[in-house]
Amino acid sequence: MGCLVQFLIIFFIQRISAISNERQAIIKSTLDRLLEEDYDIRLRPQYGADPLSVGMSIQVASIDSVSEVNMDYTLTLNFQQSWRDERLAFDGLNLNLTLDNRVVDKIWVPDTYFVNDKKSYIHTVTRSNKMLRIEEDGTIFYGLRVTTDLACMMNLRRYPMDEQNCTLEIESYGYTTDDIRFHMLGDIGVTGVENLKLAQFKVTNSRLLIKNITFATGSYPRVSLSFLLKRNIGFFILQTYLPCSLITILSWVSFWINHEATAARVALGITTVLTVTTISTNVRQSLPKIPDIKALDVYLICCFVFVFLALLEYAMVNCTYYGNMARQTKAKLRRKLTEALEAEESAKSANFAAQFSGGSKETIRYCDEESTSPGSIHQIAAGWSDNEENAIRHISTCPHANHARPLPTRRRNVGFNVATQGRARSMHNAANGKRRGQPSRNSVGKKRKGYASRAKKSLSALKVPKISDVSIIDKVARVAFPASFAIFNFVYWTYYIFF
Helix axes 374-382, 388-397, angle to 10 degrees: 150
Instruction: Reduce the DSSP state of residue 353 to 3 states and report it.
Output: helix
Residue 348 lies in a domain: no
* Secondary structure class of 163 (helix, strand, coil): strand
456 domain-assigned: no
pLDDT reported for residue 426: 46
Question: Mind listing the pLDDT tens digit for each residue in 207-227?
Answer: 999 999 999 999 999 999 999
Span 321-357, pLDDT tens digits: 766 666 667 777 878 888 888 787 788 777 766 665 5
- Closest CA relative to residue 287, chosen from 190, 295, 348, 222: 295
Q: Is 128 exposed, middle or buried (0-12, 13-18, 19+ CB in 10 A)?
A: middle
What is the predicted pLDDT for the residue at 95? 78
- Gyration radius from the chain CA atoms: 52
DSSP 467: P
> How much is the pLDDT for 372?
44
What sign results for the dihedral spanned by CA atoms 451, 452, 455, 461?
negative
Are 36 and 150 within one domain? yes
Q: What is the CATH number of the domain that holds 92?
A: 2.70.170.10
Domain extent at residue 52: 26-231
DSSP codes of every residue in 91-150: -SS-S-EEE-GGGGGGS----EEETTEEEEEE--SSS--EEEEE-TTSEEEEEEEEEEEE
Q: What is the mean pLDDT of residues 177-203?
A: 92
One-letter amino acid of 54: V
Sequence-ordered strand ranges (E) for 116-240: 117-122, 130-134, 139-151, 163-172, 180-184, 190-191, 201-215, 218-231
State how far the Cα of 185 lies from the Cα of 53, in Å rounded to an integer.
Answer: 11
> How much is the average pLDDT of 78-96?
86
Domain boundary among 231, 253, 271: 231
Q: For residue 239, what pLDDT band results from cuts at 50, 70 and 90? A: very high
Say if CB 182 and CB 56 are below 8 A apart.
yes
Lowest pLDDT segment from 176-190, 384-398, 454-468: 384-398
* Structure confidence at residue 360 (pLDDT): 45
* pTM, entire model: 0.67
**pLDDT digit string (tens) for 35-76?**
666 678 888 998 888 999 999 999 999 999 999 999 999 999
Give the pLDDT of residue 387: 47
At which of 197, 212, 231 does a domain end? 231
Residue 169, pLDDT > 90, answer: yes
> Are residue 225 and residue 265 in the same domain, yes or no?
no
Q: Quote the pLDDT of residue 442.
A: 53
Give the residue among 44, 54, 60 at the shortest CA–CA distance from 184. 54
User: Tell me: the pLDDT tens digits for 383-439?
Assistant: 444 444 454 444 444 444 444 444 444 443 334 344 444 444 444 444 444 444 444
Give the Cα separation of 85 and 108 in Å (integer).
Answer: 9
Tell me what the pLDDT averaged over the chain comes to: 78
17 versus 149: the higher-pLDDT residue is 149
Length of the chain as a residue count = 499
On the 0-12 / 13-18 / 19+ scale of CB atoms within 10 A, 36 is exposed
Is pLDDT above 90 for 272? yes
- CATH number for the domain harbouring residue 246: 1.20.58.390
Query: How many domains does the structure of the chain reveal?
Result: 2
Average the pLDDT over each of 48-52, 73-77, 91-95, 292-296 and give the range with the smallest value.
Answer: 91-95
Is pLDDT above 60 for 269?
yes
Q: Are residues 87 and 110 in the same domain?
A: yes
3-class secondary-structure state, position 436: coil
Say yes or no: 209 and 240 in one domain: no
